[in-house]
A and B are shown apart, each in its own frame.
Chain A
Amino acid sequence: MRTLIVMTSFALSCAADLALAQHNHGAPAAGTRPADAAPAPGGRPGGGRPSGMREWTRQPLLLGRPVKDDRAAALITARGLTAGGITVYAADGPAEARKREFAIDAEGARIEAVAPKTGNYHWVLAREESPELVKVASTAWYFGNPGDGPTDMLATPKHELEIVPSPLPREHRSYREAEKWKFLVRYHGQALAGQALAMETEFGSRTQAVTDANGIATLVFPRDFKQPPKGDGESEDPRARGRFVLVTEKEDGGKRYLTAFNYSYTQDPERSRSLGWGAAFGILGMVAATPLLRRRQQAQGDKDHA
């Protein structure tokens, strides 16, 4: 028995070591997902909608779209602020490539994953500065390839007033209608308590939350999703995305800081699911199994005692 216990502990620690080893090499599966569990990982701030969309907010935004045939690149455009370039932070890769600048041209800025094989979340921001005002637009972009999770990247302060998703949706998830999510507001790297954080969505909802003592604001995503208009014979797309933006402002030393974080959210999956049907089939399975319970112990008991 002692050998077994020792071996069990040994086996478990081996498994943990192996786990780390394979993680460092980037698990191939990190780029995979239970197809359809959720739409392609959140990094579609553009929401897959036509770029000629109507204005739904005056807040600064960073809108992105994937580059055809290049999974390690994306095209980002800035709205509502004038910035010469885009700054991209990666969670992984060589130290000198963790923060990179990309110039904006007429098309926008073509940003790239830190290395072709190192994807995951990248933090994207643009900045406009004058003596009175610092305006920052930020978003996150998910490159499908494996790479480190964004925990440390998010924890690193990047500029004065920041909105930090805590956490970002996991790779197989998205922000969704009717869900509660937390955001940290930071000023010069310190959590900011009692700070107002406003939310606007593409579908016209406006809501606000105030940060608690730890600088965390909890926002409920409004149940306002509207499916894009369908063409003839097209069915509803459960993966369609809508946009939202969070904004916070602060005055300090005669200077105003305005920071926005925009991203996408999806509709409440319950809209296309039925718990009633689910339960009905569950019960059907239970009923189907009841004949197994009928024969009680007698014959069996005799046998076991034999």
Chain B
Amino acid sequence: MLETLFPTLSRVRFVVQLAMLFLTVYGSVVVGTYAADKITGALPALSCAYDQANGAYCVLVPTQHQVHHRIGMAMVQAQQLTTQMVLPLLMVLLTFFAFFFVIGKAFCGWVCPLGTLQEWVGKIGRRFGFGVRRFEKGDLGEVKRIRPVKWVVLLGFVFLLPLLTGLGVTPHSLGNPYCDICPSRIATTLLTGNTEELALRINDGWKFGLGATANVLIGFMLVGGLALRLPFCRICPLLAFNSVFQRLSPMRLSKPTRASCGSCHICTDACPMDIPEISSAEGRKAYNEDCTLCGRCVEYCPQDKVIELKWGPLALFGSSRAYYKAKVARELPDGTVKPLKFVRNAAKPATADA
């Protein structure tokens, strides 16, 4: 019965993502109207606090807030940094970690509403026959080149600018600069039928500029996402934030040394984050900072038990040849499925046909 309803890991994930999208975007109908009733104020996923109907807040809001007000501003008054000032930020991290410990980076691959939306845009792209673009040599360049960007966004926009603003160095409008450029703010509020966040502030130059950046990002994500998988995740500060803690959660991707790995690279082809290490490396290195624990590489590894999704010692899902065969018959590793009929007719004969 369970196997009929959930024949593949992707199906389980799709259902979980759907439920989580509902909870993170419209969850107030379940958990109650007031922010104090929310599931948490420090979720390891971009569940946006600007969305008035949501079920939880993302951790980046209180982080920016604490760095700006409790650390920056308090340092100006006290002329020093005391434990008292850092305590609220530590509380935020503790709350975050209480959640993160349970499923680790699967918050990205299974819970984050923005990740889900990007994935669905990608699915539409595949249906319409847009070829997948990749961060690899010969296409968009090596993935290593884009990896530092998310760290710059995290350190610059979530920590440094709010701190400098608290210290009075940068203008007040730069107090929560990451929220101002965050595409999830626009995506989730639009999903509740609210266009306020899409509209730009016109009475403040900084806010206008940052807001415009968010709008460019969401526009880029919606169109670029048709060809490039998870375009925003690649520069997402929360991916960097989560990856700092990724080894501290029992939930992980495991690829111990196995002779049967023929380095066929199919797992990398299947990986929406274009992670080459999952095929080329093993052990600790195979579980990369960019991994969202989506599990696609496990589904597409044609060798028995070479890659596994594990929670502590417990193997939740492992690769197998039989599973791979069934899976690849439905969908190619890069997500290509049978394009829609009219797309097929219009396309050249060489178009992939799954």
Interface residues in chain A, defined as those with a beta carbon under 8 Å from any beta carbon in chain B: 1-5, 7-8, 11-12, 14-16, 18-19, 21-23, 27-30, 32-37, 120-121, 146-151, 167-168, 170-173, 235-236, 238, 269-270, 272-275, 277-279, 281-290, 292-293, 295-305
Shortest CB–CB separation between residue A203 and chain B, in angstroms?
A: 20
Interface residues of B in 45-99 (CB under 8 A from A): 49-50, 52, 56-57, 61-62, 64-66, 68, 88, 91-92, 95, 98-99
A292–B133 contact, CB under 8 A?
A: yes
Residues A301 and B352 in contact in the complex (CB < 8 Å), given A8-B16, A273-B201, A295-B133:
yes
Instruction: Note all chain B residues with C-beta closer than 8 A to A12.
Output: 16
B198–A285 contact, CB under 8 A?
A: no
Q: Is B153 an interface residue (CB 8 A)?
A: no
20 CB contacts below 8 A, A to B, read A1-B9, A4-B316, A4-B317, A18-B102, A19-B39, A32-B61, A35-B179, A151-B37, A171-B34, A270-B199, A273-B202, A274-B202, A275-B198, A281-B215, A284-B215, A284-B216, A290-B223, A295-B133, A302-B350, A304-B269
Q: Could you tell me the distance between the alpha carbons of A175 and B110 in the complex, rounded to whole angstroms?
A: 35
Instruction: Note all chain A residues with C-beta closer than 8 A to B347.
Output: 296-297
Q: Could you tell me the distance between the alpha carbons of A229 and B351 in the complex, rounded to whole angstroms?
A: 66
With beta carbons under 8 angstroms apart, the residue of A33, A167, A238, A300 that contacts B33 is: A167
B32–A149 contact, CB under 8 A?
A: yes
Q: Which partner residue on chain A sits nearest B251 by CB separation?
A: A11
Instruction: Note all chain B residues with C-beta closer than 8 A to A14.
Output: 102
Q: Is B137 an interface residue (CB 8 A)?
A: no
Interface residues in chain B, defined as those with a beta carbon under 8 Å from any beta carbon in chain A: 2-3, 6, 8-9, 12, 16, 32-42, 49-50, 52, 56-57, 61-62, 64-66, 68, 88, 91-92, 95, 98-99, 102-103, 106, 129-133, 175-176, 179, 195-196, 198-203, 207-208, 211-212, 215-224, 226-228, 231, 251, 269, 309, 311, 314-317, 332-334, 336, 347-348, 350-352
Q: Given contacts A27-B42, A30-B36, A277-B208, could you give 9 more A-B pairs where the C-beta distance is less than 8 Å?
A: A15-B39, A22-B95, A35-B65, A269-B199, A275-B195, A285-B215, A285-B219, A286-B223, A301-B131
Judged by DSSP, the binding face of B is: mixed
Interface-centre pick from A4, A34, A282, A297 (highest chain B CB count, 10 A): A34
Q: Could you tell me the distance between the alpha carbons of A22 and B9 in the complex, rounded to whole angstroms?
A: 31
Q: When A and B form their complex, which 9 residue pairs have the shortest distance between CB atoms, in order from nearest?
A: A29-B41, A285-B219, A149-B34, A289-B224, A301-B352, A281-B215, A273-B199, A285-B216, A29-B62
A28–B99 contact, CB under 8 A?
A: no
Shortest CB–CB separation between residue B199 and chain A, in angstroms?
A: 4
Shortest CB–CB separation between residue B190 and chain A, in angstroms?
A: 10
Residues A28 and B199 in contact in the complex (CB < 8 Å), given A5-B6, A278-B215:
no
Q: Which partner residue on chain B sits nearest A274 by CB separation?
A: B202
B211–A278 contact, CB under 8 A?
A: yes
Residues A5 and B218 in contact in the complex (CB < 8 Å), given A32-B65, A293-B223:
no
Q: Which partner residue on chain B sits nearest A14 by CB separation?
A: B102
Instruction: Note all chain A residues with C-beta closer than 8 A to B61.
Output: 29, 32-34
Judged by DSSP, the binding face of A is: helix
Shortest CB–CB separation between residue A237 and chain B, in angstroms?
A: 10
Residues A284 and B219 in contact in the complex (CB < 8 Å), given A30-B41, A151-B33, A274-B200:
yes
Instruction: Note all chain B residues with C-beta closer than 8 A to A283.
Output: 219
With beta carbons under 8 angstroms apart, the residue of B12, B41, B99, B200 that contacts A4 is: B12
Q: Could you tell me the distance between the alpha carbons of A282 and B176 in the complex, rounded to whole angstroms?
A: 21
Q: Which partner residue on chain A sits nearest B269 by CB separation?
A: A304
A278–B102 contact, CB under 8 A?
A: no
Instruction: Note all chain A residues with C-beta closer than 8 A to B215.
Output: 278-279, 281-282, 284-285
A286–B222 contact, CB under 8 A?
A: yes
A296–B131 contact, CB under 8 A?
A: yes
Q: Could you tell me the distance between the alpha carbons of A35 and B66 in the complex, rounded to whole angstroms?
A: 11
Residues A170 and B332 in contact in the complex (CB < 8 Å), given A284-B219, A289-B219:
no
A288–B9 contact, CB under 8 A?
A: no
With beta carbons under 8 angstroms apart, the residue of A18, A281, A292 that contacts B99 is: A18
With beta carbons under 8 angstroms apart, the residue of A2, A167, A273, A292 that contacts B200 is: A273
A281–B200 contact, CB under 8 A?
A: yes
Q: Could you tell me the distance between the alpha carbons of A4 and B106 in the complex, rounded to whole angstroms?
A: 13
Shortest CB–CB separation between residue A79 and chain B, in angstroms?
A: 28
A273–B196 contact, CB under 8 A?
A: yes
Interface-centre pick from A4, A29, A35, A301 (highest chain B CB count, 10 A): A29
B41–A27 contact, CB under 8 A?
A: yes
A286–B33 contact, CB under 8 A?
A: no
Instruction: Note all chain A residues with C-beta closer than 8 A to B334.
Output: 300, 304
B68–A15 contact, CB under 8 A?
A: no
Instruction: Note all chain A residues with C-beta closer than 8 A to B351.
Output: 296-298, 301
Interface-centre pick from A4, A173, A287, A299 (highest chain B CB count, 10 A): A4
Instruction: Note all chain A residues with C-beta closer than 8 A to B40.
Output: 19, 22-23, 27, 29
Q: Could you tell me the distance between the alpha carbons of A235 and B42 in the complex, rounded to whole angstroms?
A: 34
B219–A3 contact, CB under 8 A?
A: no
With beta carbons under 8 angstroms apart, the residue of A33, A149, A288 that contacts B49 is: A33
Q: Which partner residue on chain B sits nearest A18 by CB separation?
A: B98
Q: Could you tell me the distance between the alpha carbons of A235 and B202 in the complex, rounded to whole angstroms?
A: 13
Shortest CB–CB separation between residue A70 and chain B, in angstroms?
A: 16
Q: Which partner residue on chain B sits nearest A147 by CB separation?
A: B36
A282–B314 contact, CB under 8 A?
A: no
Q: Which partner residue on chain A sits nearest B59 by CB separation?
A: A29
Instruction: Note all chain B residues with C-beta closer than 8 A to A28.
Output: 41-42, 62, 66, 88, 91-92, 95
Q: Could you tell me the distance between the alpha carbons of A290 and B219 in the complex, rounded to whole angstroms?
A: 10
